A and B are shown apart, each in its own frame.
Chain A
Amino acid sequence: MVAFLLQRLGFAGLTMAVISVLAFAIIQLPPGDFVDTYIANLSASGSAVSQAEAEALRQLYGLDQPIWVQYFKWVSRILAGDFGESMEWRRPVSEVIGDRLWMTVLISFFALILTWGIALPIGIISAVRQYSIADYAFTFLSFIGLAIPNFLLALVVMYVAFRYFGANVGGLFSAEFELAPWSLAKVWDLIKHLPLPGLILALAGTAQLVRIMRANLLDELRKPYVVTARAKGLPERRVILKYPVRAALNPFASTIAYLFPYLVSGSVIVSIVLSLPTVGPLLVKALIAQDMFLAGTIILLLGALTVVGTFISDLVLMWIDPRIRHQMD
């Protein structure tokens, strides 16, 4: 068990390292170094930077040194909690991002729970009542969910809500709470706004999970132990829920590891359409304005988020599956 944990931790570290290299590469990619861009931005807005100041900035970021030295300087500054300065906002990146990261976590996590909550019962029903009307209807619906990219779904939902209900469904807060400090009323407002974007985000992943669950459960249901249980007169509900569902849950659970990065990814694009206060719209703006420290940091943080999510899903898997728990003992 400990060995499994260590292995997964090592893997999380490796993934994080790859993500940090990619994020650093994205920061470095635009032509010229970022001090050049910074100076250009400053002088465009009227304030000049002296040669000495520019030199000091270059020294600070080690721009005169080889690329790997720059990378390690960048990483060590991040580990110390300094993400650099946003050129567009002229404020530290951590301040610009602020609450938005937690909103991303909230929405992605909520969507994850919804995906599970929808896919599990539907998967079970479609398997137990194979080729029934419900099975066909759910299969069809899940295919539709698979086929509509979630930003498109968000667009259509927004249009329908506007056209037929006269409501603007964008955002996560009502206008009066948008800038208000946190309070119980604001949290309640957030809870009221959360289901729609959560559902839009969850639908795309649901299709895949339903199909996995259905296939797994169908395999299990054909096994002799199910026949035995039924022959011994166990109630149908127990026959299905007690063993086959638990066994089928296993490969199902291992997909969370890929589901979470997928949802975080999706939240970026859905947030842009629905103008949710997550890091998504910020990332697009930063990328278009070539505000690379901000963009790089957001990509790094989103990466870290998926790594943590993957690790947690490994823990869940260990908890569900006795085979993994006892493998190493």
Chain B
Amino acid sequence: MSDIAAPQAASAQAEASIASAGQARLIWWRFRRHRLAVASGILVILFYLIAAFADFLAYADPHASDSRRTYIPPQMIRLWDEDGSFRPHVLGLRGQRDMQTFQLVYRPDPGRKLDVVFFARGYEYRLFGLFPTDRHLLGLRDAGPADGIFLLGTDVQGRDLWSRLMVATRVSLTIGLVGVTISLFLGVLLGGISAIHGGWIDLVVQRLIEVIRSLPTIPLWMGLAAALPTSWSVTQIYFAITILIAFLAWTDLARVVRGKFLSLKSEDFVLAAELAGAGQLRIIFKHMLPSFASHVIAATTLALPAMIISETSLSFLGLGLRPPAISWGILLQDAQNIQTLALAPWLLAAAVPVILVILAFNFLGDGLRDAADPYGT
């Protein structure tokens, strides 16, 4: 790290700044060196921005079905006109029936150019659930009822896949957050109690964790999720599913918390605080928590992708969220059989954000864990 040519004064100064830097700053310095983790962190932020502005980024009502628009293949936005001037547009589509297969085939019609405009008016929604508006990032000028942008094509009911993907991102990413919050709470509570009290409580919690970890989770989730009443609303199902997933997912966090607690309990600074007469709660929250909070954050980041996979798998099977809710799993459900895939391969598009987000969370979590470890390199 240190520059050989630099005089000793500079390295002494660097040492001084390391010595005086707080825990958070040290972690940030170590994290910054981990390029992949930083890039992943940025990607995660971008995805949550998509989640926040899902309706703004969508350009067609994700629920509006139209039987004249089934399985339209993806259409690119053309940025340049033939004469080379900048004019973002899409071509109008003309449906023709293939007289051999009797399928409706859509062909772009070069004669009809539809201009793409920014901040166009579209369907109404509430930004952040608060401000009613009808502005969208993209839209068409003078579009007829059958015209549209089809960045990712449409599904069997003629719903625009891009718009659905945007809204699905919001649902799938928040379900992970809610779930991880619940399992964080359970994990810190049970892991902490188990470590502080020890004895039979520790034994019971440890056995419980071991039992839960040796359960076959997917069949159990399926069983419990299938038992949810069909009369429940989308929101109720959403929360029930998160609770179900969190219920079996807290064990890793509890182990991390317990392990850290036990190793910190014998540290000198805890003993010093005890001798100075600090109460137990004060020791835990003021002295111990700051030293293992970063580890817990890293473990939480690593727990998130598992949550997202769980929700996606359950919804994919038709046992998680149910339509009209839209999530990545529900979008992938449409691509479940080979006949549909052969006809409309673009339905697999929802797989891309799933893979990207899971990868990003894994790299980010790894980077955070390495950065949080004071003995790491």
Q: Which residues of A contact B (CB under 8 A)?
A: 11, 14-15, 18-19, 22-23, 26, 29-31, 143-144, 146-149, 151-152, 155-156, 158-159, 162-163, 168, 170, 257-258, 261-262, 264-266, 268-269, 272-273, 283-284, 287-288, 290, 295-296, 298-299, 302-303, 305-307, 310
Q: Give A23's nearest chain B residue, CB to CB.
A: B223
What is the interface of chain B mostly: helix, strand, loop, or mixed? Answer: helix
Partner of B335, one of A155, A162, A266: A155
Q: 0/1 per residue, B351-376, Cβ < 8 Å to A? A: 10011001100110000000000000
Contact between A307 and B317 (Cβ–Cβ < 8 Å)? no
The contact of A11 among B210, B215, B348, B359, by CB within 8 Å, is B210
User: Which residues of chain B from 299 to 326 have a CB within 8 Å of any chain A CB?
Assistant: 305, 309, 312-313, 316-319
CB distance from B269 to the nearest CB of A (A): 27
- Kindly list chain B residues whose C-beta atoms are within 8 Å of the C-beta of A26: 220, 223-224, 226-227
B280 within 8 A of A: no
A288 to B333, CA, bound (A): 15
Is A306's CB under 8 angstroms from B216's CB? Answer: yes
**B338: CB under 8 A from chain A?**
yes
Query: How many whole Å from B348's CB to the nearest CB in chain A?
Result: 7
Rounded to whole Å, the gap between the CB of A49 and the closest CB of chain B is: 24
Interface flags, B335-355, vs A, CB<8A=1, else 0: 110100110010010010011
Partner of B213, one of A144, A163, A258, A307: A258
Contact A258 B214, beta carbon cutoff 8 Å? yes
- Residues in chain A near residue B224, CB distance under 8 A: 26, 29
A290 to B230, CA, bound (A): 11
Binding site for A on B (CB under 8 A): 207, 210-211, 213-220, 222-224, 226-227, 229, 305, 309, 312-313, 316-319, 332, 335-336, 338, 341-342, 345, 348, 351, 354-355, 358-359, 362-363
Contact B211 A302 (CB under 8 A): no
In the complex, what residues of A have CB within 8 A of residue B362's CB?
143, 146-147
How many angstroms from the CA of A170 to the CA of B115 in the assembled complex? 45
B306 CB to closest chain A CB (Å) equals 10
> Least Cβ distance of B60 to chain A in Å?
25
A152→B332 contact, CB < 8 A: yes
Which 3 A-B pairs have CB atoms at the shortest separation, nearest pair first?
A29-B227, A287-B226, A26-B223
Majority SS at the chain A contact face: helix
**Closest CB in chain B relative to A275 CB, distance in Å:** 9
Across the interface, do A288 and B214 meet the contact criterion of CB distance under 8 Å? no
Would A269 and B319 count as touching, CB distance under 8 A? no
Q: How far is the CB of B7 from chain A (nearest CB, A)?
A: 32
Are B218 and A269 in touch, CB under 8 angstroms?
Answer: yes
Q: Is the CB of A152 within 8 A of B351?
A: yes
From A14, A158, A290, B338 is in contact (CB under 8 Å) with: A158
Please tell me if the beta carbons of B216 and A303 are within 8 angstroms of each other in the complex: yes
Residues of chain B within 8 A (CB-CB) of A170 are 338
- A146-B362, A296-B223, A306-B216 known; A151-B316 Cβ under 8 A: yes
A292 to chain B, nearest CB (A): 9
Cβ B223 vs Cβ A14 within 8 A: no
Give 30 pairs: A residue, B residue, CB < 8 Å, sorted on A: A11-B211, A15-B214, A18-B215, A22-B215, A22-B223, A26-B220, A143-B363, A144-B355, A147-B359, A148-B351, A149-B312, A149-B313, A151-B313, A158-B338, A159-B342, A261-B213, A261-B217, A265-B216, A268-B222, A269-B316, A283-B222, A284-B222, A284-B318, A287-B222, A287-B226, A288-B226, A288-B319, A290-B226, A299-B216, A303-B220
